[in-house]
A and B are shown apart, each in its own frame.
Chain A
Amino acid sequence: MTTLETHYKKIKDLHHEEAVAPGTGLCAGCGGLEGLRLGLKELGNDVLICNAAGCFTLLSVYPFTPLKGSWLYTTMGGPVPAAQGVRDALDIQLSRKTLTEDDNLSIVVVAGDGSSNDIGLGATSAALHRKLDFIYFCYDNEAYGNTGFQLSASSPYGSSTQTTPSVKFHPVGAELNKKNLFDIWRAQEPTYIATVSPREPIDLSNKFAKAKNLVGPRMFICMSPCPTGWGFNPKDTQLIAKLAVDTGIFPIKEYFEGKVIHTKQPRRRLPVEKFLETQKRFSHLFEPERKSDVIEQIQKTVDKYWEPYE
């Protein structure tokens, strides 16, 4: 059973109005941007995005913005406290009746996985503790993308990044496992957490539609295939996003009222290498010779995750 209210059943049902206009400084085929585009359609225009340093900072380059809502660039570790400041200031004015409810804003943090898992996590944890009323959108491209794809705490085991290259003495590339941000957030019992994929637009849109009407911290992690950093042809973004879900590498789920539910559980999981082999960041696992131990290790981690649910 799923607790997800199904506003939408078909793609056709989704909002036709766009909240992000085309023509941004981001790469063609950016999976995270597609996730944000779909999410903002649900949230509407009365939003303020507090942005962390990262790829998406290039959404607003003076004098252009593709957004119908508002934007505030902050710092790599500061978007959440900025959201706190804006929320507090709006609440003060609402309670004094110097601001009408019509003029109220939803505060949305847009931050990459590096900001979310690393430099900004302390401040985010503090906001979860304060039960800040906001929406957090983490586009997870599994590295520091904007600086040229270095390791973040979200980079998966076995991926090569600029700072964890696969070399003779470290053939695996990244030797650490991806941080479990979902569970870290969950420990603080926010109102809502969901993982979403641009390849599952209906699931994504339903989750945003649901979160929109809740109060308190509402957290999203969006699987964000990154042609530039992951090394694939931009036209394959959706395919790769789909493989991430179908192999079980990226579980699509939500946390609400104390329970975690998989909203898109793969029926029969594909082997992880179907996903790995599509991207240059994993090519060292296949060439010059196959690193079966590493691939097996990745498969084992995925199997272990799904064991209780299958």
Chain B
Amino acid sequence: MGIDSSKRLMLTGNKAAAWGARLAQVEYVPAFPITPQTEIVETLAKWFADGTLKGKFTNMDSEHSMFMAAGAGAATGVRVFTASSSQGILHGMESIYTIAGWRTPMVVVNVSRALATPITLEPDHNDIMSVRDCGFIQLHAETCQEIFDFILIGYKVAEDPFVCLPVLVNMDGFYLSFTREPVLIPNEQKIKKFLPEFKTSQPVFKASQPMARASAVFGGSTYTYFKIQQDLANRQAEEVFLKTSKEFEKHFGRFYDVVEKFNMEGAEFVFVMSNSFSTKGKDAVLKLRRQGIKAGLLKLRLFRPFPATAIADALCGHDNVAIIDQNLAPGMGGITYPEIVASLYDRKNRPQNILSVIGGLGGKDITEGDFLSIIEKLKSSETKQPFYLFGKKDEENFERLQHLAISNKEAFQS
């Protein structure tokens, strides 16, 4: 089958994303640079310039403009791709919500990077979580292969007449965006069989088809109608994702469930994680198992729509669960934690011990020791939540910097 005719390339996450867009035959890319995403749009710019890709690459003036142009392009009947990150997502937020409401299919890649302030380039998930409620579908990738595959699957889901929504594929900045991994790239003809050229299932702007789109509404009930439609379409995407995933498997031999279970059989301690740090989690699980500790991992993959049933099914029957959020809602804690807890609420055999863990902020590593300390925490009777992965060493490091800051100031004043 198609698997044989794949070629294996060593690609960074960013390059894998560009290849995904290329083989999805995208026609329109409005773009704006931001670290660590820039390599994606630079690669696509070259391919449009040298004729590898047909269509148009437009250098935009901001993400607000970029997302608006992307939505408008999709509403006019072409296959659209774009990418962003961090401050770009925040800057584009108004347009992101707007085009989600337009129900225009497209795929957007977000390369996760922590949000200011303080400003940094390194990853965490507050950027992707900030668009949790906008109406986009979200797929979170652990590997470069997943990025590539999710873009192809993403277009099929986005363009499904029962969905008609933009899809966001997320990867971690640096850890994945700049890490080279082997990626199987199926041949173009095989991909075309799975994902044919874009044919819109919606009416699009053209002279023979005048229409008003995104008109104002009044009186609440019309607004509610459109919003419920958006919610239903988004929920519908779970089934469409699974259907598409099975089709993808038939073509290319890889299957993606809405969540991924890793060594969950008989697991007494479960880590819930997402994106590239799951690889660290899996590694820790294997080491713990070798030490006789029954650990397992549940990886979140389809994050919107939220696969509550699949998550609850996977977690029930396990005593201790640690939900590791690489994000922080100040004053509340981890963002996925309450969503997962809510999905378990009506289950009789739900885990008794659920710990909210905050780690990996601003690119901070999650180490083997961290996983051990999470297990210790789960075993202890202490109930203080959330558990920050910020230890003695981190404190000492910061104090060293603080001393430098103070002594600099004193030296300056004297």
CB neighbours of B28 from chain A (8 A)? 85, 88-89, 92
User: Quick one: given A71-B215, A92-B28, are A78 and B58 in contact (CB under 8 Å)?
Assistant: no
Contact pattern, B 65-101, Cβ under 8 Å of A = 1, otherwise 0: 1101111111111100000000000000011001000
Contact pattern, A 54-66, Cβ under 8 Å of B = 1, otherwise 0: 0001101111110
Q: Whose C-beta in chain A lies nearest to the C-beta of B94?
A: A75
In the complex, are the beta carbons of B76 and A90 less than 8 A apart?
Answer: yes
Q: Whose C-beta in chain A lies nearest to the C-beta of B218?
A: A61
In the complex, are the beta carbons of B214 and A72 less than 8 A apart?
Answer: yes
Q: How many inter-chain contacts with C-beta < 8 Å in the A-B complex?
A: 155
User: Quick one: given A62-B222, A72-B214, are A92 and B64 in contact (CB under 8 Å)?
Assistant: no
In the complex, are the beta carbons of B214 and A74 less than 8 A apart?
Answer: yes
Give the complex CA separation of A78 and B99 in angstroms.
11
Q: Does B54 contact A (CB under 8 A)?
A: yes
Q: Which positions 172-218 of chain B face chain A at CB distance < 8 Å?
A: 205-218
The size bracket of the interface on B is 35 or more
Q: Is the interface of A mostly helix, strand, loop or mixed?
A: mixed
Q: How far apart are B77's CB and chain A's nearest CB, in angstroms?
A: 6
CB neighbours of B216 from chain A (8 A)? 57-58, 60-62, 73
In the complex, are the beta carbons of A65 and B207 less than 8 A apart?
Answer: no
User: Quick one: given A73-B216, A102-B208, are A123 and B72 in contact (CB under 8 Å)?
Assistant: no
Q: Does A130 contact B (CB under 8 A)?
A: yes
Q: Whose C-beta in chain B lies nearest to the C-beta of A69?
A: B210
- Write 25 A-B pairs (CB below 8 A) sorted by A numbering: A58-B216, A61-B215, A62-B215, A65-B212, A70-B213, A71-B213, A74-B68, A74-B72, A74-B98, A78-B94, A78-B98, A80-B65, A82-B71, A84-B30, A86-B72, A88-B30, A88-B69, A88-B73, A89-B75, A90-B206, A91-B56, A92-B78, A93-B77, A126-B65, A129-B61
In the complex, are the beta carbons of B55 and A92 less than 8 A apart?
Answer: yes
Give the complex CA separation of A78 and B68 in angstroms.
6
Q: Does A104 contact B (CB under 8 A)?
A: yes
CB neighbours of A67 from chain B (8 A)? 210, 212
Q: Which positions 78-115 of chain A face chain B at CB distance < 8 Å?
A: 78, 80-86, 88-93, 96, 99, 102-105
- A residues in contact (CB < 8 Å) with B: 45-46, 48, 50, 57-58, 60-65, 67-75, 77-78, 80-86, 88-93, 96, 99, 102-105, 122-123, 125-126, 129-130
Central interface residue in B59, B61, B217, by most chain A CB within 10 Å:
B61
CB neighbours of A61 from chain B (8 A)? 215-218
Q: Whose C-beta in chain B lies nearest to the C-beta of A89?
A: B76
In the complex, are the beta carbons of B205 and A86 less than 8 A apart?
Answer: yes
- B residues in contact (CB < 8 Å) with A: 27-28, 30, 54-56, 58-62, 64-66, 68-78, 94-95, 98, 205-218, 222
CB neighbours of B27 from chain A (8 A)? 89, 92
Within the complex, which residue of B60, B77, B208 is in contact with A89, where a contact is CB–CB below 8 Å?
B77
In the complex, are the beta carbons of A84 and B58 less than 8 A apart?
Answer: yes
Q: How far apart are B65's CB and chain A's nearest CB, in angstroms?
A: 4
Q: How far apart are A48's CB and chain B's nearest CB, in angstroms?
A: 5
Give the complex CA separation of A267 and B60 in angstroms.
45
User: Quick one: given A74-B98, A75-B94, are A85 and B212 in contact (CB under 8 Å)?
Assistant: no
